[in-house]
Amino acid sequence: MCGIIAYAGSRSCTGLLYQGLRKLEYRGYDSAGLSVLVDGSIEVVRAVGNMDSLERELKGNGHADARLGLGHTRWATHGRPSSENAHPHSDCSGKISIVLNGIIENYAGLKEKLAREGHRFTSETDAEVVAHLIEKHYDGDLLEAVRRTYADIAGHFAFCAIHSGHPQMIAGARKECPLLVGVGEEEVFVASAIPAFLSETRDVIVVGDEELFVATPGEVQVLDLGKKRLDREITRVNWDVGAAEKSGYETFMRKEIYEQPDALIDTIAGRMAAPGQVVLEEMLVSDEALAGIDKVYIVACGTSFHAGMVGRYVLEDWARIAVELDIASEFRYREPVLSPSTLVVGISQSGETADTLAAMRQARRMGARVLAITNIMGSQATRDADGVIYTRAGLEIGVAATKTHLAQIAAIQLLALKLAQVRNSLGPDAIGAIAAEMKTIPGLLADYLKNESATHEIAKRYYRQPFFLYLGRGVGLPVCLEGALKLKEISYIPTEAYAAGEMKHGPIALLDKGSPVVVVATDGHVYEKVVSNIEEVRAREAAVIAVATEGNEGIKAYSDDIMYVPRTSEMLSPLVSVVPLQLLAYHIAQLKGCNVDQPRNLAKTVTVE
Ligand code: M6R
């Protein structure tokens, strides 16, 4: 969704801001802009559409002397995508410029009041009120004006402000939306996500929730809402700069699909050190406390929800514990039954998804213990949880989640093993055997990806089809749901994904001669049942595309096309069976000429409800 980058220092900053915005593109946006201080006044350049439109606006107008500025990518919420609604926004005098992520919930009343007081608004956005509030409160002290503005506004947001009277200063605040300060040599960056400044500095200070900051090239202050200065250490980020580049791949999504063996290796590393012992250090829940847990409640959205659904099967199977699962946007408006012995697990790649965060907070308020599974260190989810299991998938740029999904599955499998350990539902030998098998999967996947060509051929045969049905049973169900989501989000082909046993209760009516039906039919205790469902599909002359376990020759009699995956035990099979479905979606989208990295209407990080 929206992205922020700001700079103060000794270098010419228009290019730095522009590059920063390019690095934030993956989050999704529909307009972009920047404001820079040139010869004592702030100049604003904005454009609707992608960064190429902004680049055209900037042509011949490089503002080479600018040393202070703000940049923003906007994903429209209040007000359509237009250059007037694009950020940065200015106050009436044009001396103040702001960029904001999130939503100001009480903006309508504030706007009306400010208008009555004589402020002139030029956009339909909620964000513009922040520029006018800072103007109203400013009496020479930008930080104080930011503090008073913060007190006026409600919602969830992060914003940065500059003032032409303070040529080296960026000030701002955050509530629930992230803001990070990148500290360089006599220069400072502020951004909503680290990739925006990663090529310039790896030294990061996190602005905490409900905190203010003021940054100049020589000093960064983080303060509480009473302006008391807080101690904040600089953290060195070890992300690879190349992670934000395509490294020779045609798209980020393809690169990230091929990075999955490494994402798995890193997520597992060091966590199954001693035989039969699972170590999850950042989880911060003692074995005794964990042994007292009698129910696990998983909440998440989208692809993370599908990882959570795999979690339900493995937690029940290995840890023999009751599991509930809900979409975060539903959970937050229900009255779920939770207690201190419930472990609520919020799964979020970004750690910023508004609904997942709200569900986690609600669970905490209701007395449950809350755990976050996230890929982003220091993200809001880590602050709203009692403990964390980090997926260590590295930066994911493609809007369609792939490698982070696999890492999420591994993370929840580790949690299931840990619970199995403390609950004695599996002995050390059984845990050791599963752990040993998990460690083999990155190698199996790497070999599979090296020799993979079937999915491209299958994609060529079916990419013109108007509809795909996906079927799965057991742990194959979340896999088929995820495969269908991948296809619809990047190729825009309508899909339906169903529990195979439910097909005859409705979706079978959709089938016609030649309709493609993707069936997850890997080996496992429900395999024969899945074959029966395949028979039902074939009886309607639909085309069966099966995901099957290597060596299963029998499936050839029931399928038009087969995507073989390496043999694993049943509960670990989603780690391999989802990969051909990612690739199938990828190839179909490519054949249709879609932008797989930035599908229409989608944002990588959904920070609004
Ligand atoms: O950052 P999160 O994992 O919380 O994001 C949840 C969903 O928005 C995300 O998985 C979405 O469904 C992706 N587009 C899937 O590819």
| Residue ranges of domains in the chain | 3-244, 252-447, 453-591
Asked if 192 and 4 touch (Cβ cutoff 8 Å), the reply is yes
At residue 361, the pLDDT reads: 94
The answer to whether residues 340 and 367 touch, using CB atoms and an 8 Å cutoff, is yes
Specify the DSSP class assigned to residue 176: B
Q: How sure is the predictor about 279, in pLDDT bands with cuts at 50, 70 and 90?
A: confident
Instruction: List alpha helices for 424-526, DSSP H.
Output: 428-450, 454-462, 476-491
Percent of the chain with pLDDT over 90: 77
pLDDT in tens, 50-68: 888 888 888 877 677 899 9
Question: Is 295 annotated as catalytic?
Answer: no
Q: What token pair was written down for 458?
A: 């299958």
**Residue 606 CA, closest ligand 1 atom number:** 8
Q: Which residues contact 113 (CB under 8 A, 6 or more apart)?
A: none
Q: pLDDT tens digit string along 512-537? A: 899 999 999 999 999 999 999 999 99
8 A C-beta contact, residue 10 and residue 67 = yes
Q: Which of 169, 146, 193, 166 is nearest to 8 (CA)?
A: 169
Supply the pLDDT for residue 49. 84
Task: State in Å: Cα 579 to ligand 1 middle.
Answer: 17
Looking at residue 244, its pLDDT comes to: 64
* pLDDT of 476: 98
More confident residue, 75 or 544: 544
For 289, 564, 583, the CA distances from 576, given in Å and listed in that order, are 33, 10, 12
- For residues 346 and 297, is the Cβ–Cβ distance under 8 A? no
Is the Cβ atom of 359 under 6 angstroms away from ligand 1?
no
How close is the Cα of 303 to the center of ligand 1, in Å?
A: 5
Q: How far, in Å, from the CA of 215 to the mean position of ligand 1?
A: 32
Minimum mean pLDDT among 25-29, 149-153, 473-477, 491-495: which range?
25-29
**Ligand 1 close to Cβ of residue 303 (< 6 A):** yes
pLDDT of 383 > 90? The answer is no
> How much is the average pLDDT of 381-385?
90
Contacts of 402 (CB under 8 A, 6+ apart): 253, 256, 257, 260, 396, 486, 582
407: Cβ below 6 Å to ligand 1?
Answer: no
Select from 317, 310, 327, 366 the least CA-distant residue to 343.
Answer: 366
Across the range 445-457, mean pLDDT stands at: 93
Catalytic: 175? no
pTM over 0.85, yes/no: no
Closest CA to 390 of 255, 472, 270: 270
- Give the architecture (CATH level 2) of 252-447: 3-Layer(aba) Sandwich (3.40)
- CB count, 10 Å around CB of 353? 30
Neighbour count for residue 247 (Cβ, 10 Å): 12
The answer regarding whether domain 453-591 maps to CATH 3.40.1080.20 reads: no
CATH number 3.30.200.20 given to 3-244: no
252-447 has the same fold as 3-244: no
Closest ligand 1 atom to Cα of 350: 1
